[in-house]
Amino acid sequence: MNPKKIRVLVVDDSSVVRHAISSALSRDPEIEVAGTASNPYEARDMILSLNPDVLTLDIEMPRMDGLTFMRILQKHRPTPVVVVSSLTPTGSRVALDALEAGAVDVMGKPGSAWSIGDLGTQLCQRVKGAAVASLRPANAPNTPSQRAGLASSVRLNPRQIILLGASTGGTEALKSVLNRLPDGLPGICIVQHIPPVFSNAFAARLNETCAFEVREAVSGDEIRPGLALVAPGDYHMMVLWDSGHYRVVLNQGPPQHYTRPAVDMLFNSAAACAGGYAVAGLLTGMGSDGAQGMKKLKSAGAATIAQNEETCVVYGMPRAAVELGAVDQILPLDDIPGALVHAVLTRTVAAHSNNNSNSSNKPSKQPRSV
């Protein structure tokens, strides 16, 4: 028996865009375009009659904008939504608002001429991720977060570094984690599967609410305490140890796991140069990106943490890492900030102890705690 196809409703006021998205999706044997709508009012009626599994949704539309429609939809008939928005600063900010309002994923329109081209594969992957997503209530804006504590007397080892990777559902998960982390931690490197321009807007929004600086990475950036760097969309991000500190290296090598940036690129590079000084977290996401890299990190002595199934939007990437035996701790999202801080402190003590005893500079691995 053939598996049930994912039924998609395409909502966009441009007939060119509707055709391009429909054509790209129709080429995937696991996806069926159930219908297209030119505005939210058409979409409302078609949702009732077609009962689609996933919507692709434009943000800038006449009569009712996509963000307003999203909020109404998620309140009265929750449905997985992939936002397809213009690659502009304004479009990016509104797309992030849509993710906060309950959209599962976001994808950029390639340009005014609008040929989807190579982005068709990414679109299909995002639709598949949305189809299996666990929908959750939209986060309340400006909700205060309880931050994990860090004593001012803590002396970090310059080799320490924190690494985070996420995909589907990751923008909100990362925001939840980062908003609960204190200032003064080792430098943080973040790979979120996100298109160009959106990554800069995402970093800027985090910078408004976090206790430390957050910004989009630039090749050659020094990774230092009190700074979190987000990989730019369409660029892999790696780290290297250079003249007493870590630096960022960006490149546009081939996509991995259908995406660029890829979490594995960051994790693999850190396994080679940071080893047991690294603390890595793998959050919600479709697919298996980051699992192999996390396995290398664990083998090198790093502390490895994965989000648990119950709190993931899509339990794909963390599951793959768990199945590889690459994870020390499997935790609910709310427990991950405290676990990151604890792992940093434990490795700080181990590093100083090792230095004082003139033994290996690799801190001891922590026992599994799930």
* Side-by-side strand order, sheet with 245-251: 222-223, 245-251, 236-242
* Side-by-side strand order, sheet with 31-37: 31-37, 6-11, 54-57, 81-86, 105-109
CATH of 6-131, one of 3.40.50.300, 3.60.20.10, 1.10.4190.10, 3.40.50.2300: 3.40.50.2300
- Give pLDDT tens digits for 150-198: 655 567 899 999 999 999 999 999 999 999 999 999 999 999 999 888 9
- Please, where in the chain does CATH 3.40.50.2300 lie? 6-131
Residue keyed to tokens 């500079």 = 361
3-state secondary structure (DSSP) of residue 334: helix
Distance from C-alpha of 170 to C-alpha of 163, rounded to nearest angstrom:
14
Tokens (6 digits) for 196: 């160009």
Q: CB atoms < 10 A from the CB of 161, how many?
A: 26
The per-residue pLDDT for 151 is: 52
% of the chain surpassing 70 pLDDT: 86
pTM over 0.85: yes
CA distances from 156 to 163, 179, 340, 362 (A): 16, 21, 14, 14
Catalytic residues: 167, 193, 289
- In the predicted model, residues of the chain with pLDDT beneath 50 are 113, 140-144, 352-370
- Please, where in the chain does CATH 3.40.50.180 lie? 161-356
Record: fold of 161-356: Rossmann fold (3.40.50)
Tokens (6 digits) for 116: 């989807």
Residue-wise over 288-301: b if at least 16 C-beta within 10 A, else e? bbbbbbbbbbbebb
The per-residue pLDDT for 314 is: 97
Contact between 297 and 272 under an 8 Å Cβ cutoff? The reply is no
The per-residue pLDDT for 363 is: 44
Give the 3-state secondary structure of 235-263. CEEEEEEECCEEEEEEECCCCECCECCCH
